[in-house]
Amino acid sequence: MRVEYINPFVESAFNVLREVLNSDIERGELYLKSTSQPVLGVAAIVGLAGDVEGRVLFDMSKPTAIAIASAMNGEELKSLDDLAKATITELANMITAQAVTKLHELGFKFDLTPPAIFTGDNMEITDSKVEALIVPVILPQGKVEINVAVRERA
């Protein structure tokens, strides 16, 4: 992944999560994975277009997703219902959008496509042999892996 793209994603994840969860965020060490397959149970995906093609995937377990959605809504959600899903989707959207904004400022023309959320039952396995950058984030609600797989448009 292009070096200049990395910081915007790391920073925006940090900023948005800290703001919406109002708590301390710990960042794990970045690393590269040979596949972009989501692994934790719930995946919110935002597509990227423009100078690049690819997507940002927010990978987390179901309990973590419910806990995050609960915190963001200021109420205890009992399951990954429509509201919880909409909340996680919106979180993915905000983080990606802020990163894209930063990238615009750096001169990179990225576009977002509307986010989607998948759970264990209907996980898509498209093009999983793409290399992904993993930004692990540790929240009070659990771990979230931000999985970015992009490549320059030929």
Partner 1 sequence: MKTKMDFPNINERKAEGLKPDGTPYKVLVVDDSMFVTKQISQILSSEGFDIVGTANDGQEGLEKYKELYPNVDLVTMDITMPKMDGVTSLEKIIEFDKNARVIMISALGKQDLVKKSLLLGAKNYIVKPLDRNKVLERVLLSLK
Partner 2 sequence: MMERVMDTVTEENRKDRLNKERMEKIDFKMVTFSLGGKDYGIDIMKVKEISKADRFTYVPNTAPFVKGVYNLRGEIISIIDLRIMFHLPAEKKKEGVPENIIILRLDEYLIGVVVDTIDKVVGISSETIQPTPSLFGDINIKYIKGVVNHEGRLYILLDVDRILGAEREEVRKEIDTPLLKRAEEKAEAQDNHQAVDFSFIIDTLATFKKFTVNSINENWVRKRFDEWKSDRAYKGEDFQLKDPVEAEEYLSAFYSPYTGRFWAEEYFKSFEAFLPELTGGSFNVWNAGCGNGYETYSLAVLLKSRYPSSMIKIWAHDNDLLNISNAPNLLVNPEEVPEKYHSFLVEGKNGYQFSQVIKDSILFEYHDLLHQSSFPEVDFIVARDIISFLNPAEQEKVFSEFMDKLKPGGLLFLGQNEILNLEGWEMVDRGTMKAYKKEV
Instruction: List residues binding partner 2 (CB under 8 A).
Output: 1-4, 6, 30, 32-34, 129-131, 133, 151-152, 154
Q: Which is nearer to partner 1, 86 or 106 (CB)?
A: 86
Q: Which is nearer to partner 2, 90 or 131 (CB)?
A: 131
Residue 87 binding target from partner 1, partner 2, none, CB below 5 to 8 Å by type: partner 1
Cα(61)–Cα(64) distance, integer angstroms: 5
Cα(135)–Cα(144) distance, integer angstroms: 8
Positive or negative torsion for Cα 39, 73, 135, 151:
positive
Per CB under 8 A, the list member of 90, 108, 116, 136 interacting with partner 1 is: 90
Residue 72 binding target from partner 1, partner 2, none, CB below 5 to 8 Å by type: partner 1
Q: Which amino acid, 18?
A: R
Tokens of 129: 């042999």
**Quick one: how far is CA 14 from the chain centroid?**
11
Can you list the pairs that 122-128 forms with residues at least 24 positions away whose Cβ atoms lie under 8 Å?
123/38, 123/43, 125/37, 127/36, 128/35, 128/36, 128/37
Q: Which residues within the stretch 16-45 sit at the binding site for partner 1 (CB under 8 A)?
A: 16, 19-20
Minimum distance from residue 119 beta carbon to partner 2 (Å) = 27
Q: Which stretch binds partner 1 (CB under 8 A): 37-45, 66-74, 126-134, 140-148?
A: 66-74
Size of the residue set binding partner 1 (CB under 8 A) = 22
